[in-house]
Copies of this chain bind each other. A is one copy, B any other.
Amino acid sequence: MEEQNMGGEPVADRRRFLMGMAMTAAGTMSAPALAQSTSGGAAPDPHQGHKMPPPPDTPVMALLVHPKMVMQDLIGPLTVFNLMRGSQIHLVWKDKQPVTTELGITVAPTTTFADCPQDVDVLFVPGGLDGTIALMDDPEVLAFLADRGSRAKYVTADCTGSLLLGAAGLLRGYRATSHWMVRDELRSMGAIPVHERVVIDRNRITGGGVTAGIDFGLTICALMRGEAAAQNIQLVIEYAPAPPFNAGTPETAPPDIVNTLLSRRGGTIERARVKAQAAGAKF
C-alpha cells in the first residue's frame, strides 16, 4: 500500500531523490519509491536522477529483476522496502526491457547494470527456480552481483536468489538459506546451508522460499531502521499470518505430498546441483 494511503512514514524526503516518477492517467504522482516507467520501458524518462547522488541518509537498494522471476519473491520484500521512508529503490537488470515473471505479469527494470549506483546499501536477489538456474553461469549477471556485492552494506536474497549470490562467490564461508528444494546446493558454492526462515550471518541475509520474503523484508527493515519501524510496517500490512494448514515445510507437510513434489522436480533440482558444483569449482 502506498505510504500516503496506509500510514507509512512521510515520503516528502524520499520524493526529492526519485529517479523516475510514474504518473497516473489523471496526472497525479504515484509510486513514490520506484524509478519506474509505466509504459513498459518504452518512454524516455526525463527524471534520470541516477546522476544525482542520494543524501547520506537515503539507503540505496538494488533489487535484481530477471526473466522467470517469481513475482511474490520480489513483491514481499518490495512491499516492505516501499514503506521504508527515504529508500531509493532500483529494479536492476541488463537492460530496461520488461522481464516476464512466472505469473505472466511483466516488471520493467528501472535501472541497467551499467547505471546502477556503484555503492548500494542493499543488494537483493529474488528467486524463480528455473529462471535462477539459467543465470547461475551468466557472466554479466555474476559480474554485476560480485561487484556490487563486494561493497554493499547488506548482500541479500530470498528463495532461490541465494543460488545466484552463491554462484557469484558471495556466500563463501557464510551461513545462508534458500528454497527448501535446493538449499543444500549452496554447500557446493562454499556456503553453510541453514534451515531457518531468515538467516543473518554478518552482512549476508537470506530468506527461505517465496513467502519468506515478507519475514526477510521486515528483518532488513528492523536492521536498518530499528524494531519500531518494522513493527509499524508489519501493522500496516497486517502481517499476522494464519496458514490454514501446516504444510509449509517438508518437515511438516504430508510425506506423500513432499515425495511427489520432489519426484516431479527432480530434474530441476539436479540441474541446480550441476550448476552449483560448476560454479563452486571456479572459486
Chain A interfacial positions (CB closer than 8 Å to B): 1-2, 4-7, 22, 24-25, 30-34, 36, 38-40, 42, 67-68, 70-72, 75-76, 78-79, 82, 97-98, 100-108, 127-131, 159, 179-181, 197-198, 208-212, 214-215, 218-219, 222, 227-228, 230-232, 234-250, 252-254, 257-258, 260-261, 264-265, 268
Assembly CA distance A227 to B244 (angstroms): 9
A128 to chain B, nearest CB (A): 6
Could you say which residues of chain B place their CB within 8 Å of the CB of A260? 232
A237 CA / B261 CA spacing, docked (Å): 12
Copies in the complex: 2
Summarize A's interface: helix, strand, loop or mixed.
loop
Given the known interface contacts A198-B242, A238-B179, the answer about A70 and B128 at a Cβ–Cβ threshold of 8 Å is no
B235 and A240 within 8 A (CB): no
Q: Give the complex CA separation of A271 and B49 in angstroms.
A: 35
What is the CB-to-nearest-CB distance from A43 to chain B, in angstroms, rounded to a whole number? 10
User: Is the Cβ of A265 less than 8 Å from the Cβ of B7?
Assistant: yes
Q: Are A100 and B38 neighbours in the complex by a CB distance under 8 Å?
A: yes
Please state if B208 and A238 are interface contacts (CB–CB under 8 Å): yes
User: What are 22 inter-chain pairs, A to B, with CB distance below 8 A?
Assistant: A1-B102, A5-B68, A6-B129, A7-B261, A7-B264, A25-B97, A30-B102, A34-B103, A34-B105, A39-B106, A40-B42, A208-B238, A211-B238, A212-B238, A215-B242, A219-B244, A227-B245, A230-B244, A230-B247, A234-B245, A234-B247, A235-B253
Is the CB–CB distance between A1 and B129 below 8 Å?
A: yes
CA distance A249 to B235 in the complex (A): 6
Q: What are the 10 tightest A-B residue pairs by CB atom distance, in nearest-first order?
A: A31-B104, A209-B238, A240-B248, A34-B104, A231-B247, A40-B40, A36-B104, A241-B241, A2-B102, A197-B242
- With a cutoff of 8 Å between Cβ atoms, the chain B residues found around residue A82 in the complex are 102-103
The docked-state distance in angstroms from the alpha carbon of A216 to that of B83 is 23
Closest residue on chain B to residue A65 by CB atoms: B105
Q: Which of B2, B102, B198 contacts A31 (CB 8 A)?
A: B102
Additional pairs, 9, CB under 8 Å, beyond known A33-B104, A38-B100, A210-B238: A5-B102, A40-B106, A72-B75, A79-B103, A198-B242, A231-B257, A232-B261, A235-B261, A240-B249
